[in-house]
Structure 1
Amino acid sequence: MTPPHSSTADSHPYLRAATAGVRHHTRALSRTAPPPQTDRTHLDTLHAHLAELHGLLNQLADRTRPALPGAGRHLAEARTRLWQAATDIHAAFHLLPAPAADAAECRPDRLPEGPPFLTICQRHLAAGHLVRRKTTPTDIRAPHTTACVR
């Protein structure tokens, strides 16, 4: 994987740190033998990352589109594809078995955000509101057709 192009070494340090974290995690997973089974916590964290990236792409598309409509459309397309990825992660989360917890330990009624399995659903619903304001169902179902223009 090549590093992103940037004009200065200090541009977007938080994005570079997040990218480095994802790379580190990917390498750590590939070094374990046998590969660990994906669990709900892992998918919940990955979904949170995708939801934040979706929000960032939304802002970038909105800011870019007035001055550079073509680039803005590509960013909007990327935002839609990221939503599709988050939707699939959300679906996979619900297909994984729930962790078996001791009934005395597990008290979801005492958690301020509700039961742990609902946090991914709440995040997904919140991102879904943005998707419904910015895209149509046809856009979401359309195949990815953009290509490099150079």
Structure 2
Amino acid sequence: MSSPPDASPYLRAATAGLRHHARALTTGSPTARQAPGRSHLDALHAHLTALHQLLDQCAEQTRPPHPTAGRHLAAAHTRIWQATAEVHDAFHTLPTSPEASSTDCDPQALPEGPPVLTICQRHLAAGHRIRRRTTPTDLTRAS
């Protein structure tokens, strides 16, 4: 008997990639490890915003036939947004160079130059989507 086709091969691949990243950050001696840089946090933010969008779609499709499960997915959706916001804030607290520190959403301050879609543009787009479906009270209550 053959096994059913994998319903989420891309999600499994993304999960494996995240596990690889986590292992890579923890290898080596604790004194030799370096804190993740801005490019690492930018990539992590991209993963979180994609997961945020996926959870939104899952919650919307699950809610009509299974309201309780839909509410749980909606709560996860809100918490992922909160994690995304914290990663965005952490990105801006890291200095662009050893001498500089910037808290402004300035794509020119990125070490590799301004990408087509900066972390701030991505974050603003995700924020716009969540504010259409979530109240500020819900965002505060879920923390």
Q: Structure 1 length as normaliser, TM-score?
A: 0.77
Q: Give the RMSD, CA atoms, in angstroms.
A: 2.2
Give the secondary-structure state (helix, strand or coil) at the position aligned to 2:7. Answer: coil
**Residues 33-82 of structure 1: per-residue CA shift (max 9 Å, x gap):** 32222210000000000000000000000000011010000000000000
Q: Deviations over 1:71-111 (max 9, x none)?
A: 000000000000000000000000000147xxxxxxx78xx
Map of 1:132 onto structure 2: 131
Confirm whether residue 19 of structure 1 aligns to residue 18 of structure 2. Answer: no
Asked whether the 8 Å contact 2:75–2:142 carries over to 1, the reply is no
Gapped regions of structure 1 (runs ≥ 5): 1-6, 101-107, 145-150
Which residue of structure 1 aligns with residue 103 of structure 2? none
Q: Measure, in 2, the Cα distance between the counterparts of 1:10 and 1:118.
A: 31
> Closer, same or farther in 2 for the Cα pair 1:135/1:37, shift >3 Å?
same
Match of residue 102 from structure 2: none
Relative contact order: is structure 1 or structure 2 higher (C-alpha 8 Å, sep ≥ 6)? 1
Amino acid at match of 1:137: P
What residue in structure 2 maps to residue 73 of structure 1?
A: 71
Question: What percent identity do the matched residue pairs reach?
Answer: 61
| Native 8 Å contact 2:59 2:74 kept in 1 | yes
SS, match of residue 124 in structure 1: helix
Q: Deviations over 1:13-50 (max 9, x none)?
A: 11111111111111111113322222100000000000
> Alpha-carbon deviation of 1:117?
10
Residues in 2 aligned to 1:13 and 1:60: alpha-carbon distance in whole angstroms: 16
Aligned to 1:148: none
Q: Which moved more, 1:30-39 or 1:80-89?
A: 30-39
In 2, the alpha carbon distance for the partners of 1:32 and 1:16 equals 26
TM score, norm. by length of structure 2? 0.81
